Structure 1
């Protein structure tokens, strides 16, 4: 069976949608730029293909049949989706467009603040930030550079280490200053993030039995967990990389200097083919200047 064999020509769908909405073949023809007879002919061909009448002809006006009203909802939705798809392609047509994928927390906490520096370093670049969370495949996706959190970059990719994934307690200054010893965390309000490594691991690494660290709020988003810590709602076990700007601004403090090595890092990855583009290479070189592998 031929796939999509019941789908009429797009021009017929546009004519039908206009005629149904305006209740007039002549007004639909004027809107689309055809003659009234052309629209009328298209609608008869469309009705013949579908196998039932879509319009009731009443003098110079037309009214939808029940089947026509049902079909109009489908056609209007399909045309809107096609128009939306076209608009979404606009960034691809921009000269200098570089699609940078990064998780939301990295984009919000690190990349966003550095976009002016990127624009200064690569003036022709028009960055397009993708935070969709989709698994990256350079062969099938329009992604030029991706920032990922992993133990090591994928085999076969070009990569550079932006920062390691060390974790450290962070808190708003007023709360941080009340913490004198890591054991104080056992009675503090803690902020938990979803993930394989958490407070129990950090405390165990300090030689503290983590029997009472399950209290507190849980978050699935690192950015929001850091925001909660900035608001004084608890102590977060955060990526030092993601917390860097908040620490530099004084919104957060590290009550203890020790960090937990997670064995993971934040890597920028790309493909050799994508890096042949001058603007993509410019962004890549800029990322190298921003890398902080010891963070």
Structure 2
């Protein structure tokens, strides 16, 4: 069966909606930019396609039949939805739009605070941040640059290492001040984040048996784990890369310098086709500058 075979041409529906609302073929013709005879002809064709009259013609005036009133409600709703759909496309028409995919923790903790710097460095760029959590495929998705957390970048992409990921305890400054040596962590409220590297690994790194270090609140999202630490709910074993802004602002403190490498890094990905666009290339270069500053800093 052919889908949508009962849907008339859009121009017929626009003319019908105007004529039904204005109760006049001539006024409808003025609104849609046609002649009165053209609207009248369209309505007869529409009624022929539907198989029943939609209007009662009374002299120069028209009135909807019961079927016409029912159909008008449907047509008006559908035309409104189509108009809304068109308006929603407006952001896609923005010049300079660069779609950047990033996990929510990276976007919230690292990229968002740097957006003013990005806008200043690349004034023509209109960033579009995607934090949906989907698997990025440059062949099927409208993503220009993707930021990922991985052991190594995938093959077949242009890649740029932003920073290695190192983990260390962080806590609200008052709580961090009470931790004088790493063993004090065994008595502290701990915040756990799901991942391959945990508290037992860091404690082993500084020569301490984990013991009861499994107690505490678990989080699947590193941004929320850091937020819990900022609220004083415990000590988080956090990515220093993601926590650096909170540490610099005084919302968190790093009580011990020891850090373990997670075995992963943050990478920017793109492909040769996307990088042909000048705005995408400028954002890519800006990311490279941020990585270089991180390396030298």
Query: TM-score scaled by structure 2?
Result: 0.81
- Can you give the 5+ residue segments of structure 2 that lack an aligned partner in the other structure? none
Q: Does 1:208 align with 2:180?
A: no
CA distance in 2, matches of 1:57, 1:260: 81
Closer, same or farther: CA 238–212 of 1 in aligned 2, 3 Å: closer
CA distance in 2, matches of 1:187, 1:239: 22
- Deviation (angstroms), 1:252: 0.6
1:274 match = 274
Closer, same or farther: CA 131–85 of 1 in aligned 2, 3 Å: farther
- Deviation (angstroms), 1:169: 1.9
CA distance in 1, matches of 2:81, 2:200: 48
**CA deviation profile, 1:92-138 (whole Å, cap 9, x unmatched):** 43332222221222222111221222222223222222222232222
1:72 match = 73
Which has the larger displacement, 265-274 or 183-192?
183-192
- Deviation (angstroms), 1:58: 8.1
**CA deviation profile, 1:74-108 (whole Å, cap 9, x unmatched):** x5554444334433433443332222221222222
Number of positions where the alignment pairs a residue of Structure 1 with one of Structure 2: 291
- Can you give the 5+ residue segments of structure 1 that lack an aligned partner in the other structure? none
Closer, same or farther: CA 171–51 of 1 in aligned 2, 3 Å: farther
Closer, same or farther: CA 172–65 of 1 in aligned 2, 3 Å: farther
Q: How does 1:91-106 map to 2 (within 5 A)?
A: 91-106=91-106
Q: How does 1:31-110 map to 2 (within 5 A)?
A: 31-35=31-35, 38-51=38-51, 55=54, 57=56, 60=61, 62-63=63-64, 65=66, 69=70, 72-73=73-74, 75-76=75-76, 78-110=78-110
Asked if 2 retains the 8 angstrom alpha-carbon contact of 1:91 and 1:128, the reply is no
1:286 match = 286
- Deviation (angstroms), 1:148: 1.1
Asked if 2 retains the 8 angstrom alpha-carbon contact of 1:25 and 1:36, the reply is no
Query: TM-score scaled by structure 1?
Result: 0.82
Which has the larger displacement, 198-207 or 220-229?
198-207
2:23 match = 24
- Deviation (angstroms), 1:139: 1.8
Over aligned residue pairs, what C-alpha RMSD do you find? 3.1
Which has the larger displacement, 219-228 or 278-287?
219-228
Q: How does 1:127-276 map to 2 (within 5 A)?
A: 127-206=127-206, 207-216=208-217, 218-276=218-276
Asked if 2 retains the 8 angstrom alpha-carbon contact of 1:163 and 1:294, the reply is no
CA distance in 2, matches of 1:193, 1:77: 48
**CA deviation profile, 1:51-80 (whole Å, cap 9, x unmatched):** 456x4648546457479647834x555444
Larger radius of gyration: 2
CA distance in 2, matches of 1:62, 1:205: 84
